[in-house]
Amino acid sequence: MTDAPAPLADPHLVYDPVAGDGPKDVVILGSTGSIGTQAIDLVLRNPDRFRVTALSANGGRVALLAEQAHRLRVRTVAVAREDVVPELREALSARYGAGEPLPEVLAGPDAATQLAASDCHTVLNGITGSIGLAPTLAALEAGRTLALANKESLIVGGPLVKALAKPGQIIPVDSEHAALFQALAAGTRADVRKLVVTASGGPFRGRTRQELAAVTVEDALAHPTWAMGPVITINSATLVNKGLEVIEAHLLYDIPFDRIEVVVHPQSYVHSMVEFTDGSTLAQATPPDMRGPIAIGLGWPERVPDAAPVFDWSKASTWEFFPLDNEAFPSVNLARHVGELAGTAPAVFNAANEECVEAFRTGALPYLGIIDTVTRVVEEHGTPAAGTSLTVPDVLEAENWARARARELTARTASAEARA
């Protein structure tokens, strides 16, 4: 293990681009989403530690974005959708009093990327989907600490991210990777035997593949322990999300895939574990709440007091662990496969899945059709050429092909079902 490359995320290394006293200046990308809103709650409760200088969002919740900008007194607000700029300016004007300077407004598909390179200490990338890759690369290139909640940018652009990131520059915000990050602080890399990533099992834990054939969108959105956006919630129902997290763990910590295990833990109390060579296993546990991982991402190496709820140890509770049913949920093994293929294979896997999830949400694809279609797209993509150097155009080309192919296969499935 001593000859392995240095990990992207290492709790023993602290990257501090702007040393000094006072609150850390933070840019929040995806501010109106689940991660963004919880991050803002944390910031507002800790004004002595954090100061938000800029916000970005897609543009679907303009009133909320204007409210956030006013409460935080940010310098800049960005939206991906240029068509909502008049509505945003009107909402900002309604929030700000007479004589109060309005924040600068940026708009367009590159607006979040501009903010990621702006003057700040930390960029929290809470964008959902592979569109988060460009902001991730921009933050790293600009020398910002990156609190990374956008797992897709690491999945699809792993080599690009690794080429830019300096030691300690990335702090993971996913609950599982924040847990591994904290547990790894207890030993050296040579002490690590394996990583154990926990999964709640989602709403369909215990069901066979046959029993999953008729599940609905409403069933898939009924996650038993976490409140998340619809795409991530459906990914949790298929366990694609867990497969992405396995690839992410491999990239963040440079642990081989055969030493990254997934176990089902329905209570979602233990967020992940590290097994060390002496037989010890360290588990990081809190009640299911994302404010703890967000606080690690923004505050490390310091901890933020009262960031998240705690257990009442005076009350009895049961913590269960089960093996993963790979027949009912083949997505984790498929993710291992594309992770080992590397190159553009993870981008193809992620893009095809995004298309299939959307098709499922609109009724164009059954639940089991999601992973079946993704598997076929991955198989048709084949093995990336060995030794090739990945570029952003390579990723975009692979994603575009995967999306188009997934749509073609989905249309065929819908047509066949209509004829049946």
DSSP 259: G
Q: Who's near 76: CB < 8 A, 6+ residues apart?
A: 53, 54, 55, 103, 104, 105, 106, 115, 118
Q: Do the annotations mark residue 33 as ligand-binding?
A: yes
Cα 290 to its chain centre, rounded Å, is 12
Torsion of CA 348, 354, 356, 360, to 10 degrees: 170
Of 69, 21, 75, 72, the closest CA to residue 45 belongs to: 72
Q: Do the annotations mark residue 125 as ligand-binding?
A: no
Q: Do the annotations mark residue 229 as ligand-binding?
A: yes
Dist CA 14 CA 166 (whole Å): 10
Dist CA 284 CA 274 (whole Å): 9
Instruction: Report yes or no: 117 and 139 within 8 Å, Cβ to Cβ.
Output: yes
Dist CA 396 CA 387 (whole Å): 19
Q: Do the annotations mark residue 354 as ligand-binding?
A: no
- Per DSSP, the residues of 178-211 read HHHHHHHTTS-GGGEEEEEEEE--GGGTT--TGG
Q: Do the annotations mark residue 245 as ligand-binding?
A: yes
Q: Do the annotations mark residue 82 as ligand-binding?
A: no
Q: Do the annotations mark residue 242 as ligand-binding?
A: yes
Q: Do the annotations mark residue 32 as ligand-binding?
A: yes
Q: Give the other-Cβ count within 10 Å of 313's Cβ.
A: 7
Q: And the tokens for 261?
A: 């295990």
Dist CA 279 CA 381 (whole Å): 41
Of 174, 155, 132, the closest CA to residue 338 belongs to: 155
Using CA atoms, how far residue 165 sits from 7, 23, 168, 301, 345, in Å, is: 10, 24, 8, 18, 22
Q: Do the annotations mark residue 223 as ligand-binding?
A: yes
Instruction: Report yes or no: 132 and 150 within 8 Å, Cβ to Cβ.
Output: yes
Q: Do the annotations mark residue 35 as ligand-binding?
A: yes
Instruction: Report yes or no: 377 and 402 within 8 Å, Cβ to Cβ.
Output: yes
Q: Who's near 408: CB < 8 A, 6+ residues apart?
A: none
Q: Do the annotations mark residue 254 as ligand-binding?
A: no
Torsion of CA 307, 309, 312, 317, to 10 degrees: -130
Q: Do the annotations mark residue 200 as ligand-binding?
A: yes
Q: Do the annotations mark residue 353 as ligand-binding?
A: no
3 state DSSP class of 333: helix
Q: Do the annotations mark residue 339 as ligand-binding?
A: no
Q: Do the annotations mark residue 131 as ligand-binding?
A: no
Sign of the dihedral through C-alpha 367, 370, 375, 377: positive
Which parts are annotated binding residues for NADPH?
A: 32-35, 150, 152, 229
Which parts are annotated binding residues for Mn(2+)?
A: 174, 176, 245
Which parts are annotated binding residues?
A: 32-35, 150-152, 174-176, 200, 223, 229, 236, 241-242, 245
